Structure 1
Amino acid sequence: MRALAALLMLALLAACAQTTVVRTAPRGKPQAARPVSPPKPGSTALVRKGDTVYRIATTHGVSPLDLAMWNRIPPPYTIHPGQRLRLTPPDARRPEPPRPAGPTPPRVAGTTPASTPRPPAGTRPPSTTTSPATTPPATTPRPVPPQPVPPPAAAAFDWRWPADGALVGRFAAGDPTRQGIDIAGKSGAPVRAAADGVVVYSGAGLVGYGELIIVKHDEQWLSAYGHNRARLVNEGQRVKAGDQIAEMGRSGASRDMLHFEIRFNGKPQDPLQALPKR
């Protein structure tokens, strides 16, 4: 009996030693973006099989919405192999410096220009030494600082805050992941139109923005509302400032919040410069 009990204890210990605890990683948390240098003005990318707007944008360090607007890619943002996409705004292309009309003839060392007269025979040629006072000092050209880009003209209408909540993300020029502001809130909280306009996009075809709504206010201004839980408007629908157009959520985000962008001629602007103080 003692031998049998000992064998049972050994079997239980062996079974416990083979037990494995499996922990599932939390879902819904986006991976940290790999730092990428912004592309040089005039850069382009060739679309290959399997590419998407989101993949090309994140690979080259630009915003997916920027990439779609710079290349006038309409919803649902479909691209095709062989298509070449611009990676910078259209006006960021630098013109090539003008070339001279013809080649400049090279100067041959040791030759005397034809216009220089020779001194008479038996006379001493004048000294060609230049006085130090008459020699202009060598100067190094100073770099011309870049001219600041003037802010766009104020909109012909008033902006309203699109949601209530704490500001948890601010605009950062040149950062493709911070082209607007983030407003935290509860799931299902109302998301409202920031101004009168027409819904030009309502869908989830642009990866990285979740359930997205884009409202066009005039020929220059539009606003974007991302990470919604539910979209309450359709494309082509007219909305008034303050109308509820969506429910706040976390589609494509790690928390319940609204990602809000304002664009002037397709260029992202700091919404805090347009929205009223609160």
Structure 2
Amino acid sequence: MSTGSKLACWHRAVMCLALCLLLTGCSGKSRFSRDYDKLPKGSYSGKSYTVKRGDTLYYIAWITDNEVSDLARINKIPAPYNLDVGQKLRLSGGVTSKTATNRRKNSTSGTLLAKSPPGASRCWRWPTNGKVVQNYSSADGGNKGIDIAGVRGQPIYTAAKGKVVYVGNQLCGYGNLIMIKHGEDFITAYAHNDTTVVRNGQDVKAGQKIGTMGSSGTHSVFLHFQIRYRATALDPQSYLPARGSPPSC
């Protein structure tokens, strides 16, 4: 066999091996599956966080697994929680804190609290139409929300009235992300948007369009939706109305 023929055979063998490895790596896992809690959550270390441009206290609380009220109290930041670029914040310990540890010890399937928070009494509504292709999981590293399939450009609506506290793409793995606070205890998150049509600090009504569905930060078109009570992720389907039904409020 000539040298050229040997090289051609070797090239085909390498390509076949690479394809087999790719298929093996993709098998057994939904194309919508995302291990959100295993993704990097920003650059911070120890018990402090340095404020970057675009940060809000709600965003910092989210990525460090702290409660907004705790960060505000520890750092003596009054409402509406204005921050300065370069400001160094002390953290309450995040997932290693006593509060977070107790929350996880008291966790139950579907809701991460021994006693359900008053979320069921709120006027929640579905943020978009589509099939739920990835359910909520309370397991470590599980999906802390639901993934709803759709088509690019499909409208996304706020699940309840509130105030926008973050619009950006700083959080790795979430793509274009919108976070909305509802009162002082609840936050909803809408990830992988193609476009966003709201801004930080904007008041929004229940059912108001806030963006369109896309695939930013992922490889498929879907909406990743979360409901959080303080720093605890809840199962959205335990609080959303039955499909096709209006909110019970």
Same fold (TM over 0.5): yes
Tell whether 2:221 aligns with 1:213.
Answer: no
Of residues 202, 217, 220, the one that matches 1:237 is 202
1:70 aligns to what SS in structure 2? coil
After TM superposition, list the pairs within 5 Å mapping 1:197-208 onto structure 2: 197-208=162-173
TM-score (norm 1): 0.56
Residue 147 (structure 1) shift: 9.2
Identity of aligned residues (%): 33
Cα distance in 1, alignment partners of residues 134 and 93 from structure 2: 29
Select 2:149's aligned residue among 157, 160, 184.
184
- Cα contact 1:67–1:87 (8 A) shared by 2: no
Partner of 2:46: 46
Partner in structure 2 of residue 18 of structure 1? 7
Amino acid at match of 1:224: A
1:174 Cα deviation after fit = 3.7
The one-letter code of the counterpart of 2:171 is L
Task: Specify which structure has the higher proportion of helix.
Answer: 2
- The question of whether the paired residues in 1 share the 8 Å contact of 2:67 and 2:231 is answered with no
Q: Which runs of 5+ in 2 are unaligned?
A: 23-30, 39-44, 49-59, 72-80, 109-113, 244-249
Match of 2:224 in 1: 259
Q: How many residues align?
A: 190
* CA distance in structure 2 between the aligned counterparts of 1:93 and 1:241, rounded to whole angstroms: 33
- Indicate the SS of the match to 2:124: coil
Counterpart-to-counterpart distance in 2, 1:47 and 1:242: 38
Shift of 1:78: 9.0
Hey, what does 1:275 align to over in structure 2?
A: 240
After superposition, the CA RMSD in angstroms is 4.1
Task: Give the corresponding residue for 2:99.
Answer: 91
1:204 corresponds to which letter in structure 2?
N
Structure 1: segments with no counterpart, 5+ residues: 1-9, 37-44, 49-63, 95-144
Alpha carbons 1:46, 1:84 under 8 Å: kept: no
- For the residues of structure 2 that align with 1:271 and 1:79, how far apart are their CA atoms? 34
Change (3 A) 1:255 1:18: same
Which residue does 1:196 correspond to in 2? Answer: 161
**Given residue 95 of structure 2, which amino acid in structure 1 is its aligned partner?**
L
Q: Counterpart of 1:272 in 2: which secondary structure?
A: helix
Change (3 A) 1:236 1:32: closer
Kept in 2, the 8 Å contact 1:47–1:79? The answer is: no
Shift in Å at residue 268 of structure 1? Answer: 0.9
User: Residue by residue, what CA displacement relative to the aligned partner does 1:1-44 show, whole Å, maximum 9, x if unpaired?
Assistant: xxxxxxxxx9xx54444344686988xx89986x98xxxxxxxx
CA pair 147-206 structure 1, distance change in 2 beyond 3 A: closer
1:32-181, aligned counterparts within 5 Å?
46=46, 66-70=62-66, 85-88=93-96, 91-93=99-101, 149-154=114-119, 157-181=122-146
Q: Runs of 4+ in structure 1 displaced over 4 angstroms?
A: 21-26, 29-33, 64-67, 71-75, 77-80, 82-85, 145-148
8 A contact 2:64–2:94 mirrored in 1? no
My pick for the range that moved more, 223-232 or 15-24, is 15-24
CA distance in 2, matches of 1:227, 1:165: 15
Find the aligned partners of 2:228 and 2:181 in 1 and give their Cα distance. Answer: 10
Residue range with higher mean Cα deviation, 168-177 or 205-214 = 168-177
Following superposition, the deviation at residue 211 of structure 1 comes to: 0.8
| Helix, strand or coil at the partner of 1:178 | coil
Per-residue Cα deviation, 1:202-241 (whole angstroms, up to 9, x for no partner): 0001112111000111111110001111222110111111
Q: 1:155-186, CA deviations, whole angstroms, 9 ceiling, x for partnerless residues?
A: 55311100111111111114334110000111
**CA distance in structure 1 between the aligned counterparts of 2:199 and 2:123, rounded to whole angstroms:** 23
Which whole-Å CA distance do the structure 2 matches of 1:91 and 1:47 have between them?
15
Q: Is the 8 A contact 1:187 1:249 kept in 2?
A: yes
